[in-house]
Amino acid sequence: MEISGIVKRQREYFATGATRKAGDRIAVLKKLQQAIRAHEEELCDAMQKDLGKSRSESYMCEVGLTLSELAYQIRHLKRWARPRRRGTDLTNFHAKSFSVREPYGCVLVMSPWNYPFLLSMEPLIGAVAAGNCCVVKPSAYSPATSAAMAALLREVFPEEYVAVVEGGRAENSALLDERFDYIFFTGGVTVGKLVMEKAAAHLTPVTLELGGKSPCIVDGTADLELAAVRIAFGKYLNCGQTCVAPDYLLIERSVKEKFLKIFIRKLTEMYGIQPLHNQNYGKIINRKHFDRLKGLIDEKKLAWGGDTDPESLRMAPTVLDNVTGEDAVMQEEIFGPILPVIAFDRIEEAFAFVLEREKPLAAYLFTRSRETEKQFLSRLSFGGGCINDTIMHLATSRMGFGGVGNSGMGSYHGRKSFETFSHEKNILKKYNWIDMPLRYQPYDKKKDKLVRMFLK
């Protein structure tokens, strides 16, 4: 696919103003909504092929969330697109101040393989809602979903409006050499740094949705039954291949043994005695990641699970106990179904452990203590998170989602997506019936005195 030609045609199409009217944007988003509903079966089949996702999980975590975001954008877009009145100070008497949001132009969305449909479509929806043309580059690691999504988008949009570029590193490199007006990237830290470096050559603004080792803290006051099932859900959903999955568990020593018994019972209830035979449990994306994950399992610290099937790339939910910060599993983002467990005696130790590391994309706390909750929110820096739950903070269009520090920059979902893909243009409209002469030369003591009165 000739990438430079696509970008050129999109720039020409954007220049016609065809993407500008809010009503037209709503119409095309509704068309996309209908197409997703019509192709739900093919999309779910593709995700099952790429990641072993069950139909229930594919709808709940990808198709359904995408439709929910679409409905939210369609419902609110006209209001977001209206000019917004701003206050005007006395210095600018008599005038009106307002801001308008304008699309950037031609934008690039680069998405990962772990939620290949959701993490391509949600940024795209924001880009289109804001009035941009868009090039979508899905991951080469999820080829079936990429192909199904490309076919769907070609049905809805002409290529000069929205184009899908499939392929691998060569296509990624070619795209990053082009000049875009905005780049939205979801993926790992290493590639995120490369994206930012390439964008800097053109002073292109970026949103980076990255990752990191997201901690989950359980103190002695927590509801252990509820904590166990909610942590299990967040950790092992999509076989742990979730950017906001609890990466490791910090638990108060006084409740650790009791919690682990409950946790293992919940895992058995959810996935069965032999999880690798559970058809609703997925697989690792490829052999490279499977081998990496297998190398992180320390048999001496294995508390539950650890079973693997190299042929099907399946790995059972796994728990490692008595882990330390020096273990191999704590040196990188796991991105798989392995939960390291680290005990602490005082909550300050848990906070200190997190603060010693890079800022994570998410953090989770299970507690009944208002004081612990207060400290968690004030002392730890992270992209977003939950108190007494995991990962569900991203399943809403009413709050933004994004990282901080090493886990990324910028945010999206709902109104945040619209704002991310548009520039706020601020305007002062001055009226002609009066013109205060204080700013004009020649200056004198009287003007000086009046200026000082206005600018106190």
Q: Round to whole Å and give the CA distance between 303 and 313.
A: 21
Phi/psi of residue 417, each to 5°?
-65, -45
Q: Round to whole Å and give the CA distance between 178 and 207.
A: 17
User: For the chain, what is the largest distance between any 2 Cα atoms, rounded to a whole number of angstroms?
Assistant: 89
Q: Round to whole Å and give the CA distance between 177 and 174.
A: 5
Q: Which residue has the tokens 């000069």?
A: 160
Q: Which residue has the tokens 């800097």?
A: 200
Closest CA to 186 of 132, 237, 139, 127: 139
Helix, strand, or coil (residue 346): coil
Cβ atoms within 10 Å of 347's Cβ, excluding its own = 22
* Mode of pairing for the β-strands spanning 206-209 and 182-186: parallel
Beta strand extents in 23-129 (DSSP E only): 84-86, 95-103, 106-110
Q: Round to whole Å and give the CA distance between 98 and 359.
A: 36
Q: Would you report the helix, strand and coil content of the chain in percent, each value rounded to 5?
A: 50, 20, 35
Q: Which residue has the tokens 């990053």?
A: 176
Residue pair 335/211 in contact (Cβ under 8 Å)? The answer is: yes
Q: Round to whole Å and give the CA distance between 340 and 330.
A: 8
Active site residues: 209, 243
Closest CA to 393 of 264, 260, 258, 242: 242
Q: Round to whole Å and give the CA distance between 397 and 141.
A: 27
